[in-house]
Amino acid sequence: MKKAVCVAAGLFVAFLCFASVSSAGPIIDQILKKKELVVGTSATYPPMTFKAKNGKPYGLDIDLAGAIAAEMGVKLRIEIIPFDELIPALENGKIDMIISCMTITARRNLRVAYVGPYFISGQSILTTKDVAININGPEDVNKPDFSIAVPRGTTTEQIAGKILPKAKIVVVKSNDEALALLLKKKVKALMSDYPFVTVEALRYKDKGLVSNPPFSMEPLGIAVRQGDPLLVNFLGNFINTLRSNGIINVLTQRWFTDPSWMADLP
């Protein structure tokens, strides 16, 4: 009897050892098997992620996704998905990870695992010069007669609800819709991530749009499904490598100091 138990235990240990060497991790295995990394992004946050005139996605986030795919030795496929549908798409297995100017939050972290941050952002306000001259902080916006557009399902919407309870918050589908409302003067301002606000202020300088300095600090991270610690470890080490060898800084300089790419914006 003891001999049978020992044999069974030995077989179980052997099985565990075999499984550990034959399987890297459920998600990594799938990516390597299909030889394709599928990344979800909203493509509505230039210069981090945006859709160019030719319909293709570009930006710092897209460059980062390309670097990850290259390191894995697989092809990259980008899926453009509305921001508030990205996490459900990840949970359903439609995409392998999210790289979309997504702030790491505790609430989101209950549903997905995060790697990063790879970039530090913050909330900022885009408005016209005549309105901006009277804005020194959120308290100057927190008024019943001040209308401000925010994209749905984002930390911007959450923060606006907390710090601007008296303002007229107009929740829209995307940053593009918020910008359209501002340009048509249907709202006094829009609130969004600092990179987007900075870019649009430069892009529409001739229309009198200006941005305010960020009034919050938000870490941007890569979101992946739970259940594959090796993938989290791989991404964490890869981001640290890109940061230590200066690649993250090069990408930041490229997208934030060279305005030539703006010609590709639709």
In a domain, 17, yes or no: no
- What is the number of structural domains in the chain? 2
**Residue 235 resides in a domain:** yes
**In the predicted model, is pLDDT for residue 7 greater than 70?**
no
On whether both 154 and 260 belong to a single domain, the answer is no
Q: What is the mean pLDDT of residues 110-138?
A: 92
Residue 24: per-residue pLDDT: 57
Specify the higher pLDDT residue, 73 or 6. Answer: 73
**Domain edge (last residue) among 196, 211, 226:** 211
pLDDT of amino acid 17: 44
Instruction: Grade residue 257 by pLDDT with cuts at 50, 70 and 90.
Output: confident
Residues 136 and 248 in one domain: no
Whether the predicted pLDDT of 12 surpasses 50: no
Whether the Cβ atoms of residue 115 and residue 44 lie closer than 8 Å to each other? no
CB distance 126 to 197 below 8 Å: yes
The reply to whether 93 and 155 lie within a common domain is: no
The rounded percent of the chain whose pLDDT value lies above 90 is 78
The pLDDT of residue 25: 77
Same domain, 43 and 101: yes
Query: pLDDT higher for 21 or 217?
Result: 217
pLDDT in tens, 126-156: 999 999 988 877 888 999 999 999 999 899 9
Q: pLDDT, tens digit, for every residue of 53-87?
A: 999 999 999 999 999 999 999 999 999 999 999 99
In a domain, 246, yes or no: yes
Question: Is 204 strand, coil or helix?
Answer: coil
Residues 102 and 142 in one domain: no
> What is the distance between the alpha carbons of residues 183 and 202, in angstroms, rounded to a whole number?
14
Are residues 100 and 38 part of one domain? Answer: yes
- State both tokens at 125: 């306000």
Whether 66 and 88 map to the same domain: the answer is yes
Between the CA of residue 250 and those of 10, 245, 258, what are the distances in Å?
A: 52, 10, 11
pLDDT at 13: 42
Query: 93 and 131, same structural domain?
Result: no
* Domain identity same for 37 and 73: yes
For residues 201 and 167, state if they share a domain: yes
Range of the domain at 96: 24-121+218-264
Q: What is the pLDDT of residue 181?
A: 97
In this structure, the answer to whether residues 110 and 222 fall within a common structural domain is yes
Is 195 a domain residue?
yes
Mean pLDDT, range 18-22, rounded to an integer: 40
Do both 75 and 103 map to the same domain?
yes
- Sheet of strand 147-151, all strands in order from the earlier edge strand to the far edge: 168-172, 147-151, 189-193, 123-128, 209-211
Between residues 1 and 214, which one has the greater pLDDT?
A: 214
pLDDT mean across residues, the chain:
89
- Residue 237, domain CATH: 3.40.190.10
Do the domain assignments include residue 9? Answer: no
Residue 178 within a domain: yes
- Please determine, for residue 9, whether its predicted confidence score (pLDDT) is greater than 80: no
Q: Is residue 18 part of a domain?
A: no
* Chain segment 167-211, per-residue pLDDT in tens: 999 999 999 999 999 999 999 999 999 999 988 998 899 999 999
Q: Look at residue 11 and tell me if it is in a domain.
A: no
Residues of the chain above pLDDT 70, percent: 91
Indicate the angle between helix axes 247-257 and 60-72, nearest 10 degrees: 150
